[in-house]
Each structure stands twice: as C-alpha cells, then as structure tokens.
Structure 1
C-alpha cells in the first residue's frame, strides 16, 4: 500500500467499528499515525491509539483532541465519521429524538472540527473528510430525520471548504450508499424477513449489492491523502451508481 501519509496524524471518530474501523485501518496502512475517537475504543488493532470520546459532549471532544496532540505532536487529518441512524417519516420521532440525532450527526462534526482546526492550520497537509450519505442527495423512504442531518453535513462540508481553503485546510465528504455495516445488519435482522430485506437493499443499488466498508475507506483515503491537494469542497458517491445512474430493469 502507498505510504503517502507517513509522518501524518489522522483522527477517526467512530473508528472502532464498521466504516470507521475500515477507514482507520486504511489510513494506518498508508503510513499515518491513527487516533480513534469512539465511545468504546477497546480492542483496537496494534498501533492505533484509542480515546473514549462522545461527540455530543464538547469537553470530551476537546480532551480527545488534546490527547492526540500530546501523543503524536499534532493533527493533520480529521475523519468525521461518528454518527447514528434514525428511521421513520417526519411524524415518527419527537422533538427530543430530532435534537439528539442532529446533535450527534451534525453538531458532533462541528465540535470535532472546531477543536482540531487550530492544529490543522499548522499542518502542511491538512484535510477534513466528513462521512455523509446517499440520503443527502436522494429521497429515501423512512429516513426523514437521518436524511435531514446528512443534507446538513453536505452543505456544512461545502461551507467549511470555503472558509478554510486559504488556511490550507481541505474539506470534502464521502457519500456512501447502503453499506454492509453492523447498524444495517441489525435493521435487516429486525425485519420480518431478513433475507427479503437484504435482497431489497441489494436491488436498490444499481450494481446489485451493499457497499463494503473497505470501498468507503478507499474513497476517504483518496480525499485525505496529500496527493489530492487540489480536491476540496466536493463529495464522492460510493453507492454503486445509485445517485447518478438510471438503469433499465434486469431483463428489459
């Protein structure tokens, strides 16, 4: 694997499982020193440094960022990956749940970026990558609250990119389709017919299957790499073509 991130320090929020764990492993393989900020950072691979961090708590975020700086000497890359899911229409969740999901999925990214920016400004290869979603660009049923937060993340990414470009900080996003993650597997297992639910989710994406965590990590690695120094204010869809393609039904 290419080692273009040697001598760089990367923070991955929500990096102990799922897509976050795949991202942390990919960046580590590219030579980066990796700090994983997670509610439960136990059992990380050798070489990764874990910090217990709740992105909905500003003091927790600041402590984890400062711990990373103390351990590695700085911060070069921030992967804002921590987030939670939500199901239902606009009628399905009360105000408290709207505030809770928004606080984690949107304001959580703000807290992390805000704490990291003073350190990123000192880096020769500063980058922020926000994990967004296909839900930001396509209307999905039963995902009103989740989609609202991810739409905000996409707009936030573009605004941050404009704000910090001349400070030497690139900001981009990755938009995964439905990925084979623990959360999606729990949703499938909770459905009346898990096999039928998986088949429906596979069919929703033009390439006919769930997105893998490693595929998302590959896009994040591209955006985070110093070799992508002219890429900022954009998003990469990793969704099997769901965002842009309109294929004819199979057999027609």
Structure 2
C-alpha cells in the first residue's frame, strides 16, 4: 500500500546540496528519492540550481522520474510558478512535502530582530506558501501534505535555538489546523518531527569549532538509542504518510527520533 505509481510529488527543499561525511544525505533529497523509487513522478524545488539539478540527475540514474525547478521558497511568485510548472508537466499534484528549514543558534539577547524574523520566515512562511499554492491541487487529487518539523518544537534538544523551536512549533499548529480545515475534502496533512538525524545540515550549521568526528559522537550520545537516525528513516515515514497505507491518518505530529520526545532530560 506504499506504492505511489501514477502520482506526482513535489518536494520543496528537495535538492541535493552535496554529500556530508560518510555519504550522509539531506532529508529532502532522500524523501524525493524514496518517492521516486515508489513510483511517483517527483518534482524537486530548490533555490540552489546545482542542488536541484544534482538531485534530478541522481534520481534519474536510480531509475526514477524527477524534474528540477529552481525557486526560492520565500518568493511567493516563484512558489506559485513552481506549482504551475508541476501541474503543466504532470497534470496533477498528489503529494506535497514542505521540507525547507534552517537552524539559527542564539537566544533573544544574541539574536537581532532580523535574524529572528528570517529564522521564522524560512521555517514557517515556506510551509504557508507551499500550502497556499498546492492545496487546490491536493483537493482535486485527494492528496497528502507532509510538513517536516522537529522534536525541538516540543522538547529541549540541547541546542540553543529558540527561534527555530518556536517556528517549528508554529508549523505543528499550522499542520493540525490545515488537517481539520481540509479533512472533508479528502486531503490529509501531517508533520514529521525529526529528531537527531545525521544530515549535512547538522555538520554545516551546528558544528561550531568541533570536527566531524566530535559532532557525530556528541549527537549520537544525545540519542536514547545511542546513535542518530538517518535521512532514510525520515523518508520511510514520509512515504507512509504519502501513501494509501496512511489513508486515515490526519493531523498527526509523528516523531522520528528514537524516543527522544519521551525522554525527560
């Protein structure tokens, strides 16, 4: 029931920005690849042209169908155009994944107002725009929207990034509001609360002065399982939420975190 044959998936933030240490890939790309492997025609939207092209090339080499679109997820016209191009190319949109996000280290005393607003915009406004322009097509297809949130939206995870946490908490509530607002149309809207996941972002944005080995060891130690999850773990959850296997799952905030969300301290 997790097959996606004949369906079209659009992944905002699905580019392949370059492999991290040990062949580590990002969540957006792994989800796009997984959707394609399950039979969907995939559209990868990314503001980085090379990342979008690289994702499409790798997915095609893997045997999948992928169309790259270059668009900044904070640019309303570009987002609308990306959705229009997808519908023109494939005739429909069945699956939307809002995957754009970034961390922003620092508390209120350290952050400028512009830094705060940018963190909120990147993590929240991009989900709003993805929903705004894709939802009419999801209604037509009785499709599924998947928003990538974080366990940081409901728990302290050891990183001082309240702007990121607050924005992701807003993504959670937006997810559940849309789930009820559109429930009678057949559209399902769910979120994945990613935990400590081994992705290039972790090394790029949370590294400080630490080296790769130290970063990986520290993040592994924070996980209840003793090891971080992978982007593939998140992708498999996304596939479930995108497919008929979850046909009566709506408004769920699904942690993919090895149990981190239930641990106190």
> Do they superpose with TM above 0.5?
yes
Tell me the secondary structure at the aligned position of residue 101 of structure 1: helix
| Unpaired segments ≥5 residues, structure 2 | 17-25
After superposition, the C-alpha distances for 1:115-153 in whole angstroms (9 at most, x for unaligned) are 0111111104x1000000010110233111110111111
Q: Is the Cα–Cα contact under 8 Å of residues 188 and 194 in structure 1 kept in the other structure?
A: no
Q: Which moved more, 1:95-104 or 1:179-188?
A: 179-188
Change beyond 3 A, Cα 1:198–1:35:
same
Separation (CA, whole Å) in 2 of partners of 1:67 and 1:128:
18
Query: Which residues of 2 match residues 1-252 of structure 1 at below 5 A?
Result: 4-17=3-16, 18-40=26-48, 41-43=52-54, 44=56, 45-46=59-60, 47-124=65-142, 126-140=143-157, 141-187=159-205, 189-192=207-210, 194-245=212-263
Structure 1 distance, partners of 2:179, 2:251, is 5
Q: Deviation of residue 3 (structure 1)? A: 6.0
CA contact (8 A) 2:7 2:40 kept: yes
Q: 1:188 to 1:153 in 2, by over 3 A?
A: closer
Q: Structure 1 residue 81: deviation in Å?
A: 0.5
SS of equivalent residue, structure 1 residue 129: strand
Residues of 2 paired with 1:84 and 1:6: CA distance? 32
Segments ≥4 residues shifted beyond 4 Å? none
Q: Relative to structure 1, is the Cα distance of residues 4 and 196 closer, same or farther in structure 2, using a 3 angstrom cutoff?
A: closer
**Could you tell me whether the CA contact under 8 Å between 1:191 and 1:197 is conserved in 2?**
no
Aligned residues: 245
Counterpart secondary structure, 1:237? strand
CA distance in 1, matches of 2:2, 2:256: 23
Q: Which has the higher helix share?
A: 2
> Higher mean Cα deviation, 93-102 or 156-165?
93-102
Asked whether the 8 Å contact 1:12–1:20 carries over to 2, the reply is: yes
SS at match of 1:196: helix
Normalising by structure 1, we get a TM-score of 0.92
Structure 1 residue 190 displacement after superposition: 3.6
Unmatched tracts of structure 1, length 5 or more: 248-252
